[in-house]
Structure 1
């Protein structure tokens, strides 16, 4: 599956993306609001790509997608849906390398993915989780139409997360 936006190409990840994906899981600034420890090797990245997005495509028919900047041709982040088994819900998420922050890529990519994935997979609800002090992510979620619902505690994280959601009706 490939989705084109004005500035991005959104496509499934593959193992050849490991090198360009590495900054998304090793830069502490990028990881600030993820609760994840930095990766230290490309082997870790390859294992994660197999276990997370590549597995999700086959298991659920959707997953986080590689965001390729059309002008430069470089992988600058990810965006997309992910089934969260611990919550039994579908989350919209995004992450971009530091020099791409503040350019609207998260909103552009996530809105394009939601326009395609929600009806294609007949999703009745999409959630978004963010740390309460992550103003940029909160801004994106609200631009996507999600509304704050509650605070939740996830086992792996020390802090509570803001839980946003949007519901859909199908006849």
Structure 2
């Protein structure tokens, strides 16, 4: 288990192939499809391919990626949070998604803050971006609370998104 960081209530660790069941569930939540994208992950094999070609590849190539968020002491998987590098954005961006039953409890804020503090310790990483749909009010609010500043809009996954910037 490769732990990225911990908070009072959470353990944030890198994904491994045993997390396929969680990925299958999270990526098929209506809120994930609505506010992030339909990744067309419908089977266990799709989930394993997503992990191999997404987070696991990112860890190898960049040293960071999306991470699994679990409740400390119970190992219950509740969401994901980490940095991505999208071709259409100049800098890495913060990504996060949580199962609906764990939303509204401060976990996303706690995870985002911890991931930023940990990843921004890399001396080469001074700027992180974030994108979210304008009508995703909770994500827009969270980004502002952790210190992102709205800088404009950009197209991601075929939709106009608010573009935020966070600087160390």
The question of a shared fold, defined as TM-score above 0.5 by the shorter chain, is answered with yes
Q: Does 22-31 or 110-119 show the bigger shift?
A: 22-31
Q: Within 1, Cα distance between the matches of 2:25 and 2:100?
A: 9
CA contact (8 A) 2:28 2:38 kept: no
Deviation (angstroms), 1:152: 1.1
Gaps (5+ residues) in structure 2? none
Q: Within 2, Cα distance between the matches of 1:121 and 1:38?
A: 36
Paired residue for 2:37?
A: 35
Residues 8/44 of structure 1: CA separation in 2 closer, same or farther (3 Å cut): same
Q: Does 16-25 or 47-56 show the bigger shift?
A: 16-25
Gaps (5+ residues) in structure 1? none
Deviation (angstroms), 1:151: 1.1
CA contact (8 A) 1:79 1:94 kept: yes
Q: Within 2, Cα distance between the matches of 1:142 and 1:151?
A: 15
Give a deviation string over 1:16-72, Cα, whole Å, max 9, x none: 010122211112233210122552111101000000100000100011110011253
The runs of at least 4 consecutive aligned structure 1 residues that moved more than 3 Å come to: none
Q: Within 2, Cα distance between the matches of 1:16 and 1:124?
A: 32
Paired residue for 1:165?
A: 165
Q: Within 2, Cα distance between the matches of 1:120 and 1:130?
A: 25
Number of aligned residue pairs: give it. 166
Give a deviation string over 1:82-136, Cα, whole Å, max 9, x none: 1112223210110001100111111101111111111225212110100000011
CA contact (8 A) 2:153 2:163 kept: yes
Backbone CA RMSD of aligned residues: 1.4
